[in-house]
Structure 1
């Protein structure tokens, strides 16, 4: 394959997407001939900094390749680790390109605006002689079992709540709701309150409340979340930013211990609790690609882990994500969107009047009937995943990858895992014996998202 004059070989290509260019393959081929040192750093909340020391070519004939590499790398750092300020050292041309690209009028205006909103700080790109030093702030997460606890899991199509006493779930309920299509924040608030009250009725008291919710949360406040996609900005600021704080306070009083966490991190926690190990990357493939990570010490890193918007495909004709306007990002490969994208290529016609979740069910039914077209859809996603897992391993050095979500359910999930393992073994020997992708076992399923959420607050 050839991209900007960078030649690289891909032995395993998805049958339904043969032009797929794994970003890790491009990066490695690019770096073989790049010799000019450059450094990038991204600063996030509380002075935390992520650093990448790397190389570019710095020659006129490779200028486009250098720009592309820098763009994809900085974008990946922003969505992986988060940040409102990008530092660049080593090359002024690359700095000028990034400053324009990540401006509010540039190609990455969405990313710049998004990060500014998350961190409530203007986004900027600066040039410096030397980037700041790496600084993290990992923190322990969950595993608190004592007392009477409520665990709430806010999903895009259903909400789950558990009543947990000394680590044992005594009650669980799952309720269908439609948060993504509802513009009234009181709809969301009423659903959360109803769930809290339902679980509270099953226990003699409530000592703490833990919440697992899609989106980005800082100090229990909702910074960005697709659950509240239709809520107007003024209503979001007034009623959504503190929605879980208000709901817990209104039901249980102001002193109730409350922790709100991204659902990806809680997935990873549930996996770590089920496996009895740490260093777990959880990937939930459902409405989007939700990711969380529990490090080797059992802590969360404070990173964003929003891999749905991190590039995985260097193909210039890759599918565009409607929200960010960028191409080749994880959401179009590791979610129901990925299944829907590939289904017509496999001869599976989907009624356009169906919702995305209903379209996924059509393909899942074809898979249950062992239709060859459906198998090719899931094999292709497995091929994508094998290449992406090698990339994720490069970034996280994780030991376990737990694959969750609706896309991974049933026969299709088994086929995805099987194909991903095959690609990893065939093309990425550095992962052999070090990276273990799996589906959740019975013990992990019993822990569950809402039960793991219940363990978040310390009492």
Structure 2
């Protein structure tokens, strides 16, 4: 295969997507002939910095390949680790290219604007003689079981809450709600408060409150979250950014410890607690690709882990993500969108009148009935996943991968896992005996998202 003059071989290609080009294969082929040192860094909140020291071709004929490699690499760093400032050292042409790319009228204007909003800081691209040193701020989360705790899990279609006393759930409830379609932030606030009060009623006191919620949270504040999709910017700034802080304060007073975490990180924590191990990457394939990570010390890293918007495919004709306007990103491979993309190629008709969730159910029903067409869809996703897991292993050095979400349910999920393992064994021997992808076992399921959330705050 060839992209910008870079040749690389892929043995395992998805049956329904023969043009798929895994990014890890491209990167490794590119670096075989790259000799010019270059460094990139991205700065995020609290002075944290992620650094990548790598190489470019550094020749006139390799200029376009260098720009493409830098574009994909920096984009990946931003969505993996987060940041509002890009540092470039070692190549002024690539710097000028990235500065133009992330300008308000550039191809990555969406990414720049998104990151500026998350970190409440203007987005910049700067050139320097030497990039800053790596600086992280990993922190231990969860596994605090003592006392009377409330654990709340805010999902897109239901909200769950648990009352947990000394690590044992004494009460839990699940309530249907519609946060994504409601523009009134008081609707969300009232639902959170009702859940808090419901759990508190089953304990003699409340010592701590933990929240698992889709979105990006910094210092317990909501920076970006799809749960509040319909809320206006003015209402978001006034009532949503501190919604969990206000709700906990109003119900329990100002002194009860509160920790709000991204639901992907809490999923990884629940998995780690269930497995009794660390170094766990949790990937939930549902409406999108939600990811969380607990490192080898049992800590979260402070990274964004928004792999849905990180490139996995360098095929120039890959499907575009409507939100970011970019192509080849994980959301179109590891979510219901991936199933919907491939189903017609396998001959499965999906009515346009159906919602994405309903389209997924059509394919799942066909799979349960033994459809070979549906099996082809899931096998293709499994091949995607095998290549992507090798890439994720390269980035995280994780030991366990827990595969969650609606796409992984039923017979289709078993096929995806089987194919992913086969591709890993066939093409990425460095992962053999070191990376263990799996569906969650019963112990992990029993821990539960809301119960794991209850363990977040330290008292």
**Normalising by the residue count of structure 2, what TM-score does the alignment of the two structures yield?**
0.99
Partner of 1:411: 411
Partner SS state of residue 393, structure 1: helix
Whole-angstrom CA distance in 1 between matches of 2:318 and 2:232? 31
Deviation at 1:345, TM superposition (A): 1.2
More displaced stretch, 317-326 vs 359-368: 359-368
Alignment map for 1:55-454 (pairs within 5 Å): 55-454=55-454
Tell me, yes or no, if the aligned pair for 1:156 and 1:287 is still in contact at 8 Å: no
Partner SS state of residue 96, structure 1: helix
Whole-angstrom CA distance in 2 between matches of 1:374 and 1:202? 46
Deviation at 1:330, TM superposition (A): 0.5
Partner SS state of residue 9, structure 2: coil
Deviation at 1:204, TM superposition (A): 2.0
More displaced stretch, 195-204 vs 64-73: 195-204
Whole-angstrom CA distance in 2 between matches of 1:209 and 1:143? 13
> CA-to-partner distance for each residue in 1:58-78, whole Å, 9 max, x for gaps?
212111111110000000000
Whole-angstrom CA distance in 2 between matches of 1:321 and 1:195? 35
Whole-angstrom CA distance in 2 between matches of 1:145 and 1:385? 35
Partner SS state of residue 66, structure 1: helix
> CA-to-partner distance for each residue in 1:345-377, whole Å, 9 max, x for gaps?
111112222221222112111111111111111
> CA-to-partner distance for each residue in 1:298-329, whole Å, 9 max, x for gaps?
11111111111000000111111111111100
Whole-angstrom CA distance in 2 between matches of 1:219 and 1:59? 45
More displaced stretch, 7-16 vs 342-351: 342-351
Partner SS state of residue 42, structure 1: strand
Deviation at 1:381, TM superposition (A): 0.8
Tell me, yes or no, if the aligned pair for 1:51 and 1:133 is still in contact at 8 Å: yes
Whole-angstrom CA distance in 2 between matches of 1:289 and 1:311? 12
Whole-angstrom CA distance in 1 between matches of 2:376 and 2:173? 36
Whole-angstrom CA distance in 2 between matches of 1:363 and 1:250? 45
Partner of 1:23: 23
Deviation at 1:2, TM superposition (A): 1.0
Q: Which runs of 4+ in 1 moved over 4 A?
A: none
> CA-to-partner distance for each residue in 1:240-262, whole Å, 9 max, x for gaps?
10111111111112222110000
Structure 2 unaligned spans of 5+:
none
Structure 1 unaligned spans of 5+:
none
Partner SS state of residue 161, structure 1: strand
Whole-angstrom CA distance in 1 between matches of 2:211 and 2:167? 16
**Normalising by the residue count of structure 1, what TM-score does the alignment of the two structures yield?**
0.99
> CA-to-partner distance for each residue in 1:147-186, whole Å, 9 max, x for gaps?
1111111112221111111111112222222222222111
> CA-to-partner distance for each residue in 1:217-251, whole Å, 9 max, x for gaps?
00000001111111111111001101111111111
> CA-to-partner distance for each residue in 1:318-345, whole Å, 9 max, x for gaps?
1111111111001111111111111111
More displaced stretch, 243-252 vs 126-135: 243-252
> CA-to-partner distance for each residue in 1:29-64, whole Å, 9 max, x for gaps?
111111111000011111111100001112121111
